[in-house]
Structures are given as structure tokens and as C-alpha cells.
A and B are shown apart, each in its own frame.
Chain A
Amino acid sequence: MITLPCPWCGPRNVTEFAYGGEAGTRPDPATADPTTWRRYLYTQANPAGPVTETWLHRAGCRRFLIVDRDTTTNEILAVRRPADPPEVQR
């Protein structure tokens, strides 16, 4: 079982976390056209390799975290808090 290094709690079993899917940016609802909006809603890149994901530490600190994970090896490349800029690695 993989562990996720929660930026607040430290490494914990992945079963403590809820998967939130690939991290995406919500388009501006005022200007988004249906194509853009539905791409945001339904389209996932699902790569074989590094991917940026959102996880919730459901059974722990109840915080959301952003995880860069290699889907082919399960190696955790980086993890950060949602408020951190993307280049931050914890």
C-alpha cells in the first residue's frame, strides 16, 4: 500500500485519503463556453507517468493536498498545500 506524505501529518497510508481526481482549474463561469466547461468537468488526461492530483486527508487533518504522482511507479514526486505555488515541494 502506498503512503502519501501529507504536508501536515506526514506519511500516512493511502487508505486514510480520499481521491479527488486530477487537479484542474475551474474556468471562469461567466465566460466559459460549453466545450471548455465540459472539458473541465469530464476530461482527464489519465497519463502513464507523472500526474498532478488532488487528495483529501479524510481520516486525518481534513485538509486537501496536491500530489504529483507517477502512475507507472506510484512514486510521489512532490506534494504541496493547495495554497502553495506549484513550484513548492514539501
Chain B
Amino acid sequence: MITDPTAAAACLPNRLPPQPGELIDRDRCITFTWNGRQHVAHPGDTITSALAAAGVRVFSRSFTYSRPRGVLTASYLDPGCTVQVGAEPNVRGSHRRVAAGMAVSAQHVWPSLEHDVKTANQLVGRFLTAGFYYKTFIRPRRLWPAYERVLQKFASGGVVPDTTDDGLRYDKRYAHVDVLVAGGGPAGMVAAIAAAKAGASVMLVEEEPGLGGHLRYGSVAELTRLRELRDAMADSNSIEVLTDAVVAGRYDGNWCSVVERDVPGLHERLTKVRAGALIVAAGLVERPYVIAGNDLPGVMLSTAVRRLINLYGVRPGDRAVVLSANPQGDAAVADLQRAGVQVWAEDARRGGDIVRVLGRGSVEGVELGDGRRLPCDLVVTATGWTAPTSLLNMAGDTPVYDPRVARFLPHQLPDDVLVAGALAGDGDLDTLMDHARAVGELAAERATEPDAVRGRVLPVRTAADAALPELELHDHPALFRGRTHGFIDFSEDVTSRDIQAAVIEGYDSPELAKRYTTATMGPSQGKLETVNTVAEVAAATGIGIGAAGTTTWRPPYAPITLGALAGRQFEPVRVSPMQTWHETHGAVPLVSGAWIRPDRYGDPATEVRAVRTAVGIIDVTPIGKFDLHGPDVPALLELLYVNRWQQLAVGRVRYGLMCTDDGVVLDDGVTGRLGDDHYLLTTTSSGASGIEAWIENWLQTERPDLDVHVTPLTTAYASINVAGPRSSELLSRVTNLDLSSEAFGYMHVRTGTVAGVDDCVVWRIGFTGELSYELHVPAGYGLHVWETLLEAGADLGVRPFGVEAQRILRLEKGHLIVGQDTDGLTRAGSASLGGLLQLDKPDFVGKPELVWQDRAGSGSVLVGLQPVDPIEVPAEASQIVVRGSTVGRITSSRHSPTLNRGICLAHVPASMAVPGTTVAVRLPDRREIPAVVQKQLAHVDPAGMRLQRGDAPSPTVGADTRPPNNDRPVVSVPVCRSPITLPEPPARSKAMTADSTLTDLSLLTKVHVRGHEHGPLAAALGVAFLHAARDPDGVLVTGSEPGAWTLIGEPGTADQIRTRLQALPIQERITVIDLSHSRAMVRLTGSRARTVLSHLCAIDLQDSATPNGTCLRTSVAKVVTDIIRNDHDGRLSYLLHTERASGSYLVGQLQQLVDEHADQPG
């Protein structure tokens, strides 16, 4: 137990006196534990630098041979320094900063770091050759479970916590910049500054916690240059700097993923950046030298010792042997000497070499090229570089190997990807900085040129850019492997001997050898190993490195946690205006697409009986509803539906069946004619969004000659079906409509007042097979009408019923459900709806195939089916078999409460569709039971008597204490409700003081008007698509679609706005529809509004792209949403509106972000 951390820190054996560029704060001391023992560190120390200062050399055991491993690179890539921190596995120990109280432990050791059982693998190491596990444990197969149990103990990796409740938060957001710079070394910094000076918005991403790259651990002169650069960076306010972050991937159109670690309050954040230009200034990664013993703790790269000494004040050893082939190695020699380390320098440029590293468990000496042996505890190599071209390869480049510089160089790049720094070529600091400056300016020019389109995919070009200064290339010896074999992949324990063996076995290309040996497939993903692997394959096959090629660099460049990828979860949910009622009345929810619907409130059979004997009401809001306006609506309907539409009278409703052009049933529903040129079309609940696109496709691409305006109204109305013999009686109490059979017959539609609510559309149809009325009421009043019906009908025995009861009722009646009783092969003729087909129509969608099917008489037939044994209810999808082979299937089946027996719909071959035929149904348990084909689809009331008023059986439940009275409707004052609920004032006042607020504006009037994109209406409104402006009356006119506008005014002004529009002195057919109930609307105001939205939508929200007065539609949290930039009292402000049913979900997402950003500093 450390009682005095300061005293303990002062006597760490390997801590050097203060260094000029060090990152540690020597004034403060913190403690943490390593494998249970307490250690001391200064803030700024990495886990390994703190431990190395204390003399710890071994941080892990290797993957296969369990060899002790220590510091190799002292950077994020350090393969032997992966540790467990608390519940978090696979933490990079040479990158992660020590935090007070951190519990760090070695991972994948058994039983301990010092005594690992798997060390025995080393003794048999020469038998554990490439592919050993594949070859050895494959036979006999029956023993695999036993092998697996033991091998699991050998497997790599840390311990994943059992729960997800680890307190770690993740985030995801979008960003838009002109220039994205990957790499915050001197080249990246200079390029970023130059691009910013040229007027570009810039994001600079650096993997280390501080900017500067190699300058950070450089000389005093280099540190001075770094300070100048940092000052220049600070002067520019158009550069967003992300440190401890990585550009992990580059995709088409410069769409880049950036992983940010250590963001305040977050564990990791994924930023999706759309960049006009990408500058890759990733620098170079130092390459290990492959010789015997090159993995012993105490063998380090020259950059590792420079980092340890200069950044953390850690002496890496006492006696060092350095093999240097470049200036970086020479600088390491100087650093070591300055740190008081005895140094023996071998110069590879003059023939110096190290043949092997000697020692057991740690470096004890080396054998030099001339055979001499020197004792030492530190071996440093500076033998060359790997060019991390990952982002360039992702941009379509195939870098080429240049033997003169012994590394890969960029070759072909699209215009919007540029390279700066050592990745591009060689030179002194000034030369590379001048080049980077030119790159930054060119990138800014390309990203901000007037016709630049961000996100464009550009062709790859080979020509060198004339605008950039040419960089020279400096000779570098090609030092990959020495005279002995050693480790190539330190994470996967692959040696150069393994690669040779793989080549001999026939895996003679880098891609094959990689997969066979798993070299380059470990946590460092080839950044340390690829070039050595390729060089070894090239040497073993005798072809050059250039010819051998390289393995493919794929995203991500750096690991991303699954938490960050999952980030913020967007799972839209749609609810009807009555959902709160359903929830408080015990409805079992049914998830149907995005909709949450009541499946049942109690026993569905009881609900069925209530509908058959009295009256029930069901919430059918998800039914797709479309307003059709225009002279060509009948022609459109004739085209879309297989049946006839020309003679539909005003006030009539007709059932229609839609097919695709291959004759397969697509959708069904009823359409009513409300006025001369005005229809309301309904679709199935699940088909609503698809049918919207389907209709628009026909209107926009195939039949632009048809003059029809289609407006989706699905959630503008709350839809309630009132069904049962007493439905007419119930409805008559709350409506002004005459419900007598003469005035309002079956398949008729009326518009009137229900429960005091005007403009309700009521149609008399019968999906349940009972007398029923489907009410479409303006959605804000949905809950009011629902509650009024239940109150008014209490004495009639009215009860709500759910989707399950409706499914039973419609099956009893034999009404098919598209997608349940039809599938992707069911043509209209097979759905027993052949009677609807009007094959003599000149054209309709699907006609040719249906004509040919009709002629051939082919296909199956949908029939009603009843098991002979009434208690049997064959599961849906049970097969209909003849002598063991499948000929048909059950599509729907339920126990019928009305008939007290099993009933089904089934597809059978035409030959078996004759009524009375007995078929064999094979159940899931393989029993076969007999069932009889019925005369018709309907099991209950095939004649349809119950749909007719007065012919229904007399009511048996609910004592009628009050006579129906059409003159005295039961009506309370209608209440219009918003679809969204914002937090109660206490929670909200906190948000009010913060810098973004949400206000519910759902009750505002929203009038939709449709005309021609560039016609007289457009001219009269004076607002173009994508723009918004207030008219003299204060109405906000928004160009929401080409040729469609949404006018937003105060509550209750719909009629006023409509009248004004219709009175416009223009010669144009326009459609005006009040969408006030259809849209949920909020205002998001405050300086954080942009930050909040940038987490939810991929649109560029900067003033340059979306200034005040912009109106656009996009996806916000996966919901299609209209965004209007409408600054308010000089403050940044957005109006957002979406279809009503998604409003509650969308506002929930917005509110969460507003709260998250309420207590964060600006």
C-alpha cells in the first residue's frame, strides 16, 4: 500500500529528470493497480510508461507460444501491451492514460503473468508450425468439443463483462467539412492551417492525445517549431481539432468515419464526416526488424525509446545496442546517451547488423553481424518504415512499392483525396511543410470551388498534380529480415519461418499466406506486419515485393467498439391518437412494422362475441389513406386496380384489388368518392408506405399525362371501426348523419359530424362481416371520439376489440388479408377474387399476365376449409398433402367462437377446390387430419345478411335502458389533442435555462396546397421549393415539395387560408388540403439546436449550406421530417414537422439530446 504517492513517484527506478517535451505533470501523483499491486503515476503517463518507470518490463503473454512481451512501439499499436482495465477488455496500454484508481491487469494469462501454463508451447514451438491448429484438431471430429474446451483457455483477449451495465456511454453524430485532415503531425497541422486560411472549414484528426506527431518527441529546435504550429492552429477558428481520434474509414464520396475516444462524458463517439477533400497525413509507422529473439522484452523500435524518454521521462534500459539505418535511429542514439544509457551503435548503412537477440524472458545480449556478442538489456532497431496507406487504398489507390526507399508510395488518387507529409515523399521539415501548405491550399480550392459538389464520386487519376511541389525520395536500405528467423506478427505469433513454410505448402501469395498463417490479422491489423510479411513471401517465392503485391487494407483503420457502432439507437415507433387509452386499459401490444397496436384487451373470443351480438370498436388508424384530387382519378383507379371504377357515384364506396405487373396481388382496400373530382383511397395497414411510392411511380414515370394530386393522409385521421348489430344504434347517438338504410346504405360514404367533431368521413363497410361503420375523424379528436363512443354505448354493451379479434372475425367472414392469404406468387385469379377481374378493360397493372393465367386456367385457388374434427385448428402454414407430397397450404386458421370449431383459409390446386372435397392436412407434429373444402370463403353468414341493417339477430347482451334517439346525440365538448407530450415544467425549466429548447407547435394550422412546380400558383405564392418565407399576413409559406407548399398559420385559421388560396386569381387547378391534424410539429431554438440536430440527421446545418429561410425534407432519427430553418428573435431556430404517428418518437429523441447538451459546456 502506497501511503505517500509523491515520495513513491520520486524514487521510481527508471524515471528520468524532467525532459523538455514531456507530457507528464510531475506536480501531481496518482495511484493505480497493476495485477492487484499498487503503483504510482503522474497524470499524462500511459499505463505502460508508468509501469516502465517502475521497472516493469513484461505486460502480456503472447497468443500462441505464451512468450513474455513488453514495450515494442510505445504507441497505440504496441502489440504486447494490451491489458484489461476494470471491466473493459483489450485496452491499448501504451496509449491509454492512467487515471486515478484504475485497476489494470494482464489479460489472457493462466494462471498468472509470471507463471503461464501455455509457456510449454514454446518448448514444442517447432512443431507448432503454420496451420498447426487447423491440421491437428480437425480429426477425429467427435473429439472437437473436448479440444475446444482446452483451446478456449489458450485463446487471446480480455474478459468481457457479463452485463451491459458498465456505465459507458457512446454516441454518434454527423459532420460536414470542406477539408478533413487525417493526421495531426507537422504536415497535417500545416495543411489544416493553409486550408483554413484559404477559406475552408477544416477538421483535423489526430490519434495521439496531443498534436505534433514526431515533433513532440523531437529536439529542442523541433519543439520550438511545434509551439509555433500550435499557436498558428489556435489562431484559426475554422479548424475543429479532434485528438485521441482516428479516421477509421474512407468511403465513396469522401464519407469518412471518425472514432473519437475520451470525449467528455462519453467512452467513444463515431462521427460520420462528409468531406469536400480528404488530406491523408498519416506519417510513417516504424517497422520491426525480423531476427531471432526480436520479441524479447527489451527489444524496441527507435521511435519507442524516443517516446519513452522524451514524452514520459522513462529510461528504457541501462545498456543499449542500437541498429540504425536512418536519422530517426541516430536521434534515438542521441536521446539514449542524453538519458545516461550506455549505447553501442551499429550503423546498418555501413554494413552493421544484429544477427540475433540473446536472452530468456528478457534481453541479455546480442550477437552482432561480425559474430561478436555484447551484453545489454535494451536492443533498439531503426530499420525502416511502413507507409500506412490504408485510407488511400480505401479511396481506390493501389500504392506501388519503390525498392529505392523500401516502402510503398501513393499512385492513383481521386481529385478529392490528397497526401501530405512523409507518406507523400521525403525531405527535411521545411520541405515537407512547404509541400503540406500547398496540399492544404489545393484541397481547400477543390473543396470550395463554386461548382464543387460535396460527396461526388470522382474518377481515379494517375497524373501527378502539377500544382504541388515535387518531393524528393531518399534512399533507404531494404532491411526486412536479418540472417536469422524471428517474429513477423507479434499479435498472432507468426514467424518468418511460418511464412516460408506456408509458401512451400503452396500458399505463395501474400493474400493466401496471410489467411493460412493469420499474419497481419491480429489487433494491429497489418500496420506493423504487412510489409515484413510481403517481403518474406517475396523472398520465399523469389519474386520482388512489387510483384508480390500487398494485402488489402480495409476499414476500419483503427478498432471501433461495438458500443460506438451501435451508438444512438433509432427505432421509430408509430402510435395512434388512442394509444395512451389502449395502454391504460390493459391492451396487449402488437408490434406491426413501426406501429404499436392493441392486439387484445382481454380474451379475444369474448371480444368476437361482443361484436357478433352487440357492438365493438377497434382502432384501425394504421390503415393507409390517400386523398385523390383531379379529373383523371377514375383513369388512375382503372389503371391501379383490376376492377372497374368509371361508374362510381358520389357517396359510394368500392372494394378494389391491386396487382403488380406480373399479376401478383399487391394490396386491397376500399375507395370512396367524396365529390366530383375528390376520392379517398385506403390501403392495407402494412402496405401504406409502399402503395404511396407505387402510385407516385405510375403517375410520375408511366402516366405523367394523368392529372391527379395524391396526398397521403394516413395519420391525418384517427380511424375507428364500429362493428356489430347495434353499431348503427350506437353511432346514431353521436352523429348528425342519417343512418337509415335508405339514406346510408351498405358501401356508401358520408361526411358529417361525429361526437361534435366536424369533417369526419364515415363509410359503411364490413370487414368483420357485421353491420359496421368506419369512422375517419381528424386525428387530434381521435381520443375524444373513442371515449365518447364507449361512454354513449355503455348500455349497449360496447367494448373495444383488438387486432386478434378482428382477425378471427374476418376469417369467419372469409375476407382475405393480402400477405397472409396471398404471397409473392399469388395472382389475382388465385385469390378467389377472380370475379373482380375486368379482363376486358383496355389496360390495368398486371393485365397481360392475368389474361394469360385466365386462358391457361392455371394456379392454385383460395378456399374455405374446415377440419372434420371441429376441435382441430391446424397451425397456419400446415401443408395440404396428397400421398405425402405437398400440394397446398393453410394460410389462416383460428378457432371460431361463433361456430365453436376450427376454420381455415387454404390454397389448394384447382382440381381440389370443388366444394365437399376432403383433403389431408399435415400438421406440424406430422399427423394428417381430414378437412373439407367449403362452398365459399365465408364460414359465417355467407349470404351477407348481417351486413344489412335489420337482418341481424336481435341483441342478446346489454340491457337497452335508453331508446335510440337520433335527435339527441350524446356529445361532450370535443378536445383537440397534440400528438406529443413535452416534459412537465420542472424538468423543462432546466432546459429553458440551457441553450436549446423545444416547444410543441402541433396545434398550428398546416394547409397543404398543390399545383404546378412553376405555374401561376408558384408565382402567386412567390416561394420556391426548398425555401420558406412569411407572407404579409404572418403565414409561413414553405416550399415543401416541387409544386407543393405547406402554409403554417395560427391555430384555427385553416378555413381562412383555404379561402384565400382558392380566391387567388389564377388559371390553374390547385388542391388545398388541411393537414393540421396530420403533422406533429415542434420548434427547436437556441445555439445548441444545430448540435442537437447534427446527432439526428445527415444534412449540413452550417449557414453556408442551410441559411435562415431554408426548407427541406430529410431523414431525422430515421423518420422522414420537414426541417424549416426559421430563426426566431435573432436566435437560431428550426421548425420540425413529421407525420403525426411518429411525432411522439421523434420528440423523444430530440428531448433526450436537448437534455444531454443542457449541462455541457459550450
Which of A's residues lie within 8 Å of B, judged by CB? 1-3, 5, 8-9, 11-13, 15-16, 18, 20, 26, 29-30, 32, 34, 37, 40-42, 54, 56, 58-64, 73-76, 82-83
Contacts and interface: CB of A to CB of B under 8 A. Distances in A.
Interface string B219-255: 0000000000000000000000000000000011101
B1113 A37 contact: no
Given A30-B843, A56-B696, A58-B693, A9 B457 contact: no
8 contacts: A1-B253, A9-B1112, A11-B455, A61-B1041, A61-B1042, A64-B697, A73-B460, A74-B252
B459 A64 contact: no
A89 to B, nearest CB: 14
B852 A58 contact: no
Contacts of B693: 18, 56, 58
A54 to B, nearest CB: 7
Contacts of A37: 848-849
A42 B661 CA distance: 11
A61 B1120 CA distance: 10
A8 B396 CA distance: 30
A15 B1026 contact: no
Nearest to B662: A41
A63 B693 CA distance: 9
Taking each of A30, A40, A73, A74, which has the highest tally of chain B beta carbons within 10 Å of its own beta carbon?
A: A73
B453 interface: yes
Contact of A75 (B455, B458, B692, B704): B458
Contact of B842 (A30, A32, A54, A59): A30
Given A3-B454, A16-B1114, A61-B1041, 16 more contacts: A1-B251, A5-B456, A8-B1025, A15-B1115, A20-B697, A29-B843, A29-B847, A32-B848, A37-B848, A60-B1112, A60-B1113, A62-B692, A62-B1041, A63-B1041, A64-B701, A74-B253
B700 interface: yes
Contacts of A26: 661, 702
A61 B696 CA distance: 12
Given A2-B253, A64-B696, A29 B456 contact: no
Contacts of A11: 453-456
* Residue in A2, A34, A62 whose Cβ sees the most chain B Cβ within 10 Å: A62
Contacts of B1120: 58-59
Interface of B: 251-253, 255, 274, 396, 453-460, 661-662, 692-693, 696-697, 700-702, 704, 842-843, 847-849, 852, 1025-1026, 1041-1042, 1098, 1112-1115, 1120
Contacts of A2: 252-253, 255, 455, 457
Contacts of B460: 73
A34 B661 contact: no
A22 B1018 CA distance: 33
A3 to B, nearest CB: 3
Nearest to B844: A29
B864 to A, nearest CB: 32
Nearest to A12: B1114
Contact of B661 (A41, A56, A59, A73): A41
Contacts of A58: 693, 1120
Contact of B852 (A20, A34, A56, A63): A34
A42 B662 CA distance: 9
B849 A3 contact: no
B704 A83 contact: yes
A54 B701 contact: yes
A19 to B, nearest CB: 11
Contacts of A41: 661-662
B791 to A, nearest CB: 40
Nearest to A81: B700
Contacts of B849: 37
Contact of B457 (A12, A29, A42, A76): A76
Nearest to B460: A73
B889 to A, nearest CB: 25
Nearest to B704: A83
A18 B694 CA distance: 12
Nearest to B693: A56
A59 B701 CA distance: 18
A30 to B, nearest CB: 7
Q: Which 3 A-B pairs have the closest CB atoms?
A: A3-B455, A1-B255, A59-B1115
Contact of A61 (B458, B848, B1025): B1025
Contacts of A62: 692, 696, 1041
Nearest to A23: B701
B1119 to A, nearest CB: 9
A55 to B, nearest CB: 11
A12 to B, nearest CB: 7
Contacts of A20: 697
B457 A64 contact: no
Contacts of B1113: 9, 59-61
A55 B1026 CA distance: 20
A63 B1113 CA distance: 12
Nearest to B1105: A10
A46 to B, nearest CB: 19
Contacts of B848: 29, 32, 34, 37
Contacts of B396: 73
B701 A76 contact: no
A1 to B, nearest CB: 4
Nearest to A33: B848
Contacts of B704: 82-83
Given A62-B1041, A76-B457, A1 B700 contact: no
A84 B1120 CA distance: 27
Contact of A82 (B701, B842, B1115): B701
Nearest to A15: B1115
Given A1-B255, A2-B253, A8-B1042, A59 B457 contact: no
Contacts of A64: 696-697, 700-701
A63 B842 CA distance: 28
Contact of A16 (B456, B459, B1115): B1115
Nearest to A42: B662
Contacts of B1025: 8, 61
A63 B453 contact: no
Nearest to B702: A26
Nearest to A1: B255
Contact of B1114 (A42, A54, A59, A83): A59
Nearest to B661: A41
B1115 to A, nearest CB: 4
A64 B697 CA distance: 7
Nearest to B1041: A61
A1 B252 contact: yes
- Most B CB contacts (10 A, CB to CB) among A5, A58, A61 go to A61
A73 B457 contact: yes
Contacts of B459: 73, 75
Nearest to B1013: A8
A80 to B, nearest CB: 12
Contacts of B274: 3
B546 to A, nearest CB: 25
Contacts of A30: 842-843
Contacts of B1112: 9, 60
A36 B937 CA distance: 36
B1114 A76 contact: no
A27 B1098 CA distance: 39
A82 B703 CA distance: 11
A83 B459 CA distance: 29
- Most B CB contacts (10 A, CB to CB) among A5, A54, A60 go to A60
A75 B700 contact: no
Contacts of B843: 29-30
A83 B704 CA distance: 8
Contacts of B852: 34
Contacts of A73: 396, 457, 459-460
A59 B847 CA distance: 31
A34 B252 CA distance: 40
A26 B849 CA distance: 13
A84 to B, nearest CB: 11
